[in-house]
Structure 1
Amino acid sequence: MPLVPTAPDHFGADEFCASCQICTRSCPPGAITESKQLIRGVERWYVNFDKCIPFFAEAASCGICIAECPWTRPDVRPKLLSTMAKRIRP
């Protein structure tokens, strides 16, 4: 199926993540940066796997950042999207 590229949909997720920081605070090895980093020429949220992997191996798993992130919770996500849409498109 051919796909046509489109522009990114900016709906406030970066601003939300910058102010939320739940994943950053809950990460035991401190592997998640508080702000976006320039990675291979693209600004991205960054997880330092040199810190993450040793903790993951010692604990025999992890995923705390994913479990704590509001975006991964189906009961929370619709309200987040609705609230953010109101802020951007009054």
Structure 2
Amino acid sequence: MQYHSYWHQYTDHHHIGHRLNWLRAVHASMQPHLGTGGYTNGMDPELTDWPTAYHGDNYPRMQHVKAAFGPGELFTFPQAVSPRPAGQ
């Protein structure tokens, strides 16, 4: 499940605050029913422990793949899989 609210650069900051509070409240109210996982293609900058939420037990394996095929980290962003050298 994803929760969305949209605004643009001219949206009043007070209004943005209300939207963010609404998103947080909906997320908190649904968490007991849906768990703590997350949707990888809908990154949530406030998600704690995002490697587990997005990838579960697969995260270390994904790190090995990234180290093998993307060691220069051409594709990176704040919640991107970080490469893990072989043998670790």
The TM-score, its normalising length taken from structure 1, stands at 0.30
Larger Rg: 2
Bigger proportion of residues as strand: 1
